Homo-oligomer: A and B are copies of this chain.
Amino acid sequence: MSELRGACLIGQSGGPTAVINASAYGVIKTALEQDCITKVLAAQHGIRGVLEDDIIDMGKEDEETLRLMMSTPASLIRSCRYKLKPYTEDDTDYKRILEIFKKYNVRYFFYNGGNDSMDTCNKISEYLKTQDYECRVMGIPKTIDNDLFDTDHCPGFGSAAKYIAVSTAEVVKDVHVYDKEAIVIIEAMGRHAGWLAGAACLAKLSCEGPMFIYLPEVDFDMDKFFADLEECRKHHKRIVIVMSEGIHDKDGKFISEYGINDTAIIDSFGHSQLGGLAATMAHIIRERTGAKVRGIELSLLQRCAGHAASKTDRDEAFLAGKVAVEAAVAGETGKMVAFERKNGENGYECVTKLVDLSEVANLEKCVPRDWINEEGNNVNEKFMDYILPLIQGEIEQTYENGMPKYAHLKRVKAEV
């Protein structure tokens, strides 16, 4: 493979995570060390930054700032949700991308995101080949949802999982201080895949753990739910239940859109927008049982809790970025860095592999049915065995004056 000299360009895409900047740092640090890489550039707001020529020079940032990226949550180079049309239909965006790549002599392109972003990445890779413009294109996985195909798990998931598990444990501790009946519904993100809600099972390593966990992989049955709850209430006064936002009934209707008595009520005042799943379920349970019920939506808190990130997750996020650069320099293109799990003598080990971008684009990986109990109201030991290694270790967040110290970029415009 002949050496390819030129600039590298990184973009972040889709929802932020607690460790997405660790991947960016993995790319930037490794790229700065390569002789064949002449400049390390970043496109602000992902592919939109390419289209709008909003490119900054990461080589102009201080070393300390770059290091702080390791513990700075949320997409520091900023993100977008932008879907490219197939270039066979409309190549306007692609022509512009090529123009900008040529302008800065971009020969290495790294795109960090979820399945939609891998689709973007794949399309750009394919298009550039048709134009005889040599550029190595690599995808770097990122999503708290953990739903990317062909990889054991995704950077970002372990930290969100740890936050959810720790927060659930703390809520369980809180709920148990009084002798009164209390039911708490915790809502985790996850529209189609239940990985995040399932993570709450880890709370039982610290204390009682949640009584039930509901994932979108199993149709939610309201009658079965209340039968389980009533049985549980006979033995327990304090009941914590965790649910994926995306749970739905057998007809595919989201439970978050249910009203009282299982009937959706969307009145002219638009009340149904008031609460999400947790608020809706809390309301339904309150109405049916008369019990004191509280709904807690973890909301954005679970996505960017840098202060509670998993060290394993952060180190693997860095690794994914590093390996992407090394592979591209070695001649690879059109690939995504993926993780494979080895259970060696020292237990869990994570190794990287490369998979074709076309194989992961747009696909979603759900929790296997046999990792959920038969009743469909909790995850089982298989899920627990899978997730436990991913939350190991705590990051050393840098604090200043008692508050997290984040990286602040100078964002120097790239020169041609």
**Which residues of A line the B interface, CB within 8 A?**
12, 15-16, 45, 48, 72-75, 78-81, 162, 165-167, 169-171, 173-179, 184, 202-203, 205-207, 259-260, 265, 267, 269-271, 273-275, 279-280, 283, 286-287, 294, 296-301, 303-308, 310, 312, 388, 391-394, 397, 399-406
Nearest to A280 among chain B residues (CB) is B274
Do A169 and B403 have beta carbons less than 8 Å apart?
yes
B-side contacts of A265, CB under 8 Å? 269, 271
Could you say which residues of chain B place their CB within 8 Å of the CB of A405?
206
The contact sample of 10 A-B pairs, CB cut-off 8 A, is A16-B177, A167-B305, A205-B400, A260-B269, A267-B267, A273-B286, A274-B275, A279-B279, A296-B301, A307-B308
Q: With A274-B283, A300-B294 in contact, do A73 and B401 touch (Cβ < 8 Å)?
A: no
User: Are A304 and B173 in touch, CB under 8 angstroms?
Assistant: yes
- The answer to whether A78 touches B173, judged by C-beta atoms less than 8 angstroms apart, is no
Can you name the residue of chain B whose Cβ is closest to the Cβ of A276? B279
- Find chain B residues with CB under 8 A from A403 CB: 165-166, 169, 202-203, 205-206, 391
Tell whether A173 pairs with B399 under 8 Å between CB atoms, given A179-B45, A270-B283, A279-B279.
no
Residue of B nearest to A403 (CB): B205
What is the distance, in angstroms, from A183's C-beta to the closest C-beta of chain B? 13
The CA-CA distance from A25 to B365 in the complex, in Å, is 47
The CA-CA distance from A283 to B280 in the complex, in Å, is 15
Min Cβ gap A237→B in Å is 12
The answer to whether B275 touches A170 (Cβ under 8 A) is no
Residue of B nearest to A175 (CB): B300
Whole-angstrom distance between the Cβ of A77 and the nearest chain B Cβ: 9
How far does the alpha carbon of A81 sit from the alpha carbon of B48 in the complex, in Å? 55
* A287 / chain B contacts, CB cutoff of 8 Å: 270
